[in-house]
Amino acid sequence: MRYLYILVLILIQIFSYSQNATITVVDKETKKVLPYVNICFESLINSKKDYTTTNMQGEAENKCSDKCVISLSFVGYKTLFDTLNSLQSKTYELQADVFNLEQVVVTATRTEKALKDAPVITQVITSKDIDNRGVNNVKQIIEEDIPGVEMQRGGFGADIKMQGLESRNILILIDGERIAGETGNNIDYSRLNASNVERVEIIKGAASALYGSQAMGGVINIITKKTRKKLEISAGMQATQFNEINFPDLKYEDENYNFKKNLDLPNLNFNASVGFNIKNFSGRTDFVAKSFDAYQLYNTNIVVKDYINLDTVIYDSLSLFPKGIQGYKDITISQKLSVPLHKKLILNMNGTYYTHNEYDFVPDKKYLNFIDYTFGGNLIYSISKDFSITASYHQDIYDKYDFYERLFEKNKVYRNTFINPKLVSSFKIKKKQFITAGFEYLNEYMQSGLFIADSIASHTMNTSVFFVQDDIQFNKKWNAVVGGRIDNHSVFGTYMSPKLSTMYKLKHLSFRMNYAKGFRSPTAKELYMNWDIAWFTIKGSESLQPETNDYLSFSTEYTKSWLNTSINIYKNWLQNKIDGEWDYSMPRPVYQYKNAKHVELSGFEILSKIKFLKHFMLSGAYSYLNDNRPQADLVSSTSPHTGNIKLSYQYTKKRYEINIMLSTTIIGAKEFDKEETVFFRGDTLIGTYHVYYDAYSMWKLVVNQRLFNAVDLTIGVENLFDYRPTIIDFNTSMSPGRRGFVSLKIDVDNFFGRKKKKKTASK
C-alpha cells in the first residue's frame, strides 16, 4: 500500500509536470512576449518533426515526445536552436536581427535561404521597414533604400534604372510571377501596393539562368503577405497634402467639370485585409483604393544650347508648356487561399482584380482606363522532407481603354497577356546537394494600335524552357550554386544562360563571386512598331537580334553584432544592346530601334549599417557607375554617383514603440551630349550641345508610433527642404515640393483581442 501511494504521487507529479510543460518566448531586450513565433520540434531518435506557434501570451506547448532539437524563428529576430527534453518547460529570449540577416529569401536561388547564406548579394526590404515609414508605394521605398537605383517620373509614367540598365532589362515579379502590361517599357507601378507586402527582394546583375528574358539587369521580387494567425483583420488609411490645386473655384455647372474635378483628386490611400489560418487551411483578402493629385511643373530658368558642332547658341525662352504629371485613382482586390488536401499535398490559389483611371491635362473628354485580372495557383506534393514537386499556373490579362466621358463608353486600345505554367522539382542528395530543376512555358500575346496605322493588330510569341540548378554545400564555410537555363523562343530560336555563384565564410567575413550570362528577346513593339506620335515616328525593326550580356561580380561582407558592411564590384559586358536612335534625315524625325555593337558597364557599391547607443541605427550606401556608351548616341541617363543615408531611432516598451527616421536620397550630377534638329543658315541640320544636371538630394522625416501592438500612427514630411529644379526634364526630380502626410493602421484582431483579454482578467 505504501509503494502504491508513492507511485500515485509520482504519477501525479509527472502528470502535473506535463500539464505545465510550456515554452515561453520573449524579446531579449524588452522582455516583451512574442506571439506567433514559429517552433519546430525534431526528435533526436527518429527525426520526426512537429510544429507549433506561440499564442498571444508568447506561450506554446512542448511537443517533444522524447529528447529533441527545437528551432524558434520569427521575422525580425535571429533563429534560435536548443535541445529540449519532453515534459520540460523553458523560457527563451530571442535576439533582434537588426540587419535582417536571418530573413529567409528565395529570389537569388529560387529556394529558401537565410539572407546571410545567399551566394548572390540580395537586398531585402521588410514589411516592418514599410510600416515604420508609412509608405504605400513600393517603387518609392526601393529608390530610398537601394543604391544604384533611380525611379524617375515623366513622359509615359514612372521609369526605373538599375546599375545603368533600363526597365526593359529589369524583371519585376509578384510572388515570383511576371507582370503583364507596360507603357514605355515600364510596368504599371500603381499595381505594386505596399500594404500587403511581406518583403521585397532585390538582386542585381544577370539572372536569366533562373528567370529568363528581361532578367539580364536584375530581379525585383515582391513577396506578398500570408496569414499566420487564426484570424487577422487590419485596416489603414494615409492622407498626403495636395500636390497642386489646379481649379480652386470649380463649379458643378462648368462645362469641363468632370475633367477639372479629376485633376484635383485627394492624395488618399485606403487598405483593408481579412485573413484566417486554421490547421494550415488559410485564406487572405486584401483591398486597396487610392487616388493621386495631378500637377504641373514649369521651368524657372532659361535653357542655353551651345551647339559644339555649329557656330551658334540658342536661348530657349521660359516654356509656356509645363510637364504634366497625371492624376489617377484605382482599386485592387486580391484573394489567396491555401488548402491542405493531404499531409503531403497542398493546393494554393490566388487571384487579383485591378482597375486604374489615369487623368491628364488634355481636355478631350476622355481618359485612360486600365483593367487587369490575374489568376493561378500551385499544387505542392512533398514526397519526403527532401523531395518535392510543384506544378503551377499563372495568367495575367492587362487591358487598356480610351474611356469617353460623355458617351460613357470605352474602346479597347491595348491588351497584353502572359500564360505561364511551370513544373519544378527540388530534392536533396546526401544533405550536401540541393537540386532544383523544372520545365516552363511562357505565352505572350500583345494587341495594340502601335503596329499598323489606324488599326489594331496583334502578335504572339512563345518560349519553352528547361532549367536546372545544383546548390552544393561543400562544408560549413564553402557553398556554390551552378546552373543553367535553355530558352527556345518561337521567333529567335534557342538561347542558353549559365550561371556560377560561390560563397566562402571566414569568421566575420563572407566572400562572394557571381558569374552569369543573360539575354533579352526583343518585344513585339521593338520588332513591329510603326507609330506616329506628335512630331515624330517610332519604328521597330524585324532584323533585331536578342541582346545578351556577361555579368561578373565580386563582393566582401563583414558582420559583427553592431556592424554590417559590404562592397560589391561588378562588370557588365553587353552585346547587341537594343536601344533607340534618332534619324533626323527624314522630313519627320524617326526613332528607330537598333542593336548596338558593344556596351560595357562597370562600377561598385558600398553598403553599411551601424547599430550604436542601443537605440540608434545609421545606414548608408554609395553606388558608382562607369558607362562607356558613346555620347549623343545610346546615352544612359543614370547618374554616375548615387547614394542614400538613413538615421533611425527606435525605443520599445511592452505596449509602446516609437521609430524616428531621417533619411536622404542623393542623386549625383550627370552630363552628356544631346542631339536635335536645328534650322541653321537656311538648312535643317543635326546640332549637338552639352547638357549638365546638378546633383540634388531629397530628404524625408518620419515619426512612427505603435500602441498596444495594434495601432500604428505615422506622421512624416517628404522632400523636407522643398527642393525644386529650375529646369524640368526626364533627368531631373519631378517632385511637386515639400509634402506632409499622416497614416493610421489598426490590427483589429490584436486591438480587440487585447481588450477581451484585459476584460477577462478583471473578472
* CATH at 554: 2.40.170.20
Domain presence at residue 373: yes
What are the start-end ranges of the E strands in 44-117? 49-53, 59-61, 68-73, 80-84, 90-94, 104-105, 113-114
Domain presence at residue 464: yes
pLDDT band at 509 (very low <50, low <70, confident <90, very high): very high
CA distances from 598 to 133, 441, 572 (A): 42, 31, 11
pLDDT band at 510 (very low <50, low <70, confident <90, very high): very high
* SS3 (DSSP) at 552: strand
Tens digits of per-residue pLDDT, 15-60?
A: 444 456 888 998 887 778 888 888 888 888 877 778 788 887 888 8
What does the H/E/C string look like for 347-395? EEEEEEEEEEEEECCCCCCEEEEEEEEEEEEEEEEEEECCEEEEEEEEE
Confidence check: pLDDT of 488 > 70: yes
Tens digits of per-residue pLDDT, 160-215?
A: 888 888 888 899 999 999 999 887 678 888 898 888 999 999 999 899 999 988 89
* For residues 146-168, average pLDDT: 74
Confidence check: pLDDT of 378 > 80: yes
Indicate whether 90 and 227 sit together in one domain.
no
Tens digits of per-residue pLDDT, 131-142?
A: 888 787 888 888
Indicate whether 24 and 163 sit together in one domain.
no
Of residues 225 and 87, more confidence is placed in: 225
> How many CB atoms are closer than 10 A to CB 94?
21
- Specify the pLDDT at position 759: 47
Confidence check: pLDDT of 631 > 70: no
CA distances from 316 to 299, 302, 305 (A): 11, 6, 8
Domain presence at residue 496: no
* For residues 570-595, average pLDDT: 84
Which secondary structure element, helix H or strand E, spans residue 133, and what is its range? helix 127-133
Indicate whether 61 and 139 sit together in one domain.
no
Indicate whether 51 and 72 sit together in one domain.
yes
What does the H/E/C string look like for 420-453? EEEEEEEEEECCCEEEEEEEEEEEEEEEEEEEEC
Domain presence at residue 498: no
Confidence check: pLDDT of 284 > 50: yes
- Specify the pLDDT at position 318: 65
Indicate whether 133 and 63 sit together in one domain.
no
Contact of 602 with 626, CB cutoff 8 Å: yes
pLDDT band at 689 (very low <50, low <70, confident <90, very high): confident
- Specify the pLDDT at position 5: 52
- Specify the pLDDT at position 303: 81
Indicate whether 481 and 447 sit together in one domain.
yes
Domain presence at residue 177: yes
Of residues 90 and 583, more confidence is placed in: 90
Tens digits of per-residue pLDDT, 303-362?
A: 888 888 888 888 876 666 788 889 999 999 999 999 999 888 999 999 999 999 999 998
Contact of 391 with 378, CB cutoff 8 Å: yes
Average pLDDT, the chain: 86
Q: Which residue, 63, 94, 125, sits at the end of a domain? A: 94
Q: Which residue, 40, 75, 94, sits at the end of a domain? A: 94
Confidence check: pLDDT of 586 > 60: yes
Confidence check: pLDDT of 503 > 90: yes
* Least trusted range by pLDDT, from 163-172, 258-267, 349-358, 563-572: 163-172
What would the grid cell of residue 444 be? 505572350
Indicate whether 147 and 8 sit together in one domain.
no
Indicate whether 154 and 185 sit together in one domain.
yes
Domain presence at residue 70: yes
Domain presence at residue 16: yes
Indicate whether 718 and 738 sit together in one domain.
yes
Domain presence at residue 275: yes
pLDDT band at 4 (very low <50, low <70, confident <90, very high): low
- Specify the pLDDT at position 629: 65
Indicate whether 668 and 521 sit together in one domain.
yes
Contact of 625 with 643, CB cutoff 8 Å: no
Q: Which residue, 64, 94, 124, sits at the end of a domain? A: 94
Indicate whether 269 and 379 sit together in one domain.
yes
**In CATH, what number is assigned to the domain containing residue 88?**
2.60.40.1120
Contact of 172 with 77, CB cutoff 8 Å: no
pTM: 0.90
In the chain, how many domains are there?
Answer: 2
Please state, in angstroms and rounded to a whole number, the distance separating the CA atoms of residues 47 and 706: 41
Q: Could you report how far apart the first and last alpha carbons of the chain are, in Å?
A: 44
- Specify the pLDDT at position 319: 63
- Specify the pLDDT at position 12: 45
Indicate whether 44 and 160 sit together in one domain.
no
- Specify the pLDDT at position 499: 95
* SS3 (DSSP) at 262: helix
> Range of 668's domain?
104-491+507-757
- Specify the pLDDT at position 320: 65
Instruction: Give the position of cell 504641373.
Output: 296
* Least trusted range by pLDDT, from 119-128, 289-298, 533-542, 736-745: 533-542
